Amino acid sequence: MIENLGHALAETRKTGRGVRFSVEVTPEGTVRIVHPPENQDIAGTQAAERTSGSGLARAKARGEALAASILAHEDMVTAEELARRMGTTRVTVNARRHARQLIGLEGPTRGCRYPAWQLDRDGRPFAIIPNLFTALGDSPWTIYRFLTQKHPELEGRTAIAALEKGEDKRVLSVAASIAEGTFA
């Protein structure tokens, strides 16, 4: 084994690149160095890891761009505007967001925005919102996505459309099914 380590060291000095190998120990106590196929070098592996990392960075950038686009939409309002529509204060809006009674979306640059559609005609938030947080988790983005996506269980309508028709129980049932992985 020491001899094989010496060969590996000589190879790295000659090529200027690291080499990977495994050490195999048998039940009888025999120890040997096992080279992987094609003697994959460390520099190549690190380059591949950097490339996959850049894929992650690109995905993160796409997500941030999508979030910024959603937050810039005309139906997204500030805490001040939502407070005005509710007939209350910005402080109350923020407190209700923290209590998971309102959906407030935070973005990378725009701060917190509130979907205006979460209020009924009388300026009250959908009563089901706290139950959706309980069913789907603490991420306001998850609740937003659930409410804005079309669901086959709701005849292809969004959960918002179903809530506007007073179908709270049905919407909550779909949310529970998704959370449980049963997909009604």
Q: Grade residue 38 by pLDDT with cuts at 50, 70 and 90.
A: very low
Is the pTM value of this prediction over 0.85?
Answer: no
State residue 39's pLDDT score: 45
Provide DSSP, the chain. Answer: -HHHHHHHHHHHHHHSS-B--EEEE-TT--EEEEPPGGG-BHHHHHHHHHHHHHHHHHHHHHHHHHHHHHHHSTTEE-HHHHHHHHTS-HHHHHHHHHTTSS--EE-SSS-EEEEGGGB-TTSPBPTTHHHHHHHH-S-HHHHHHHHHSEEGGGTTEEHHHHHHTT-HHHHHHHHHHHHHT---
Q: Decide if pLDDT at 137 tops 80.
A: yes
| Mean pLDDT value of segment 23-34 | 70
State residue 129's pLDDT score: 98
| pLDDT tens digits along 75-95 | 999 999 999 999 999 999 999
CB-CB contact of 93 with 84 (8 Å): no
State residue 21's pLDDT score: 63
Q: Decide if pLDDT at 172 tops 70.
A: yes
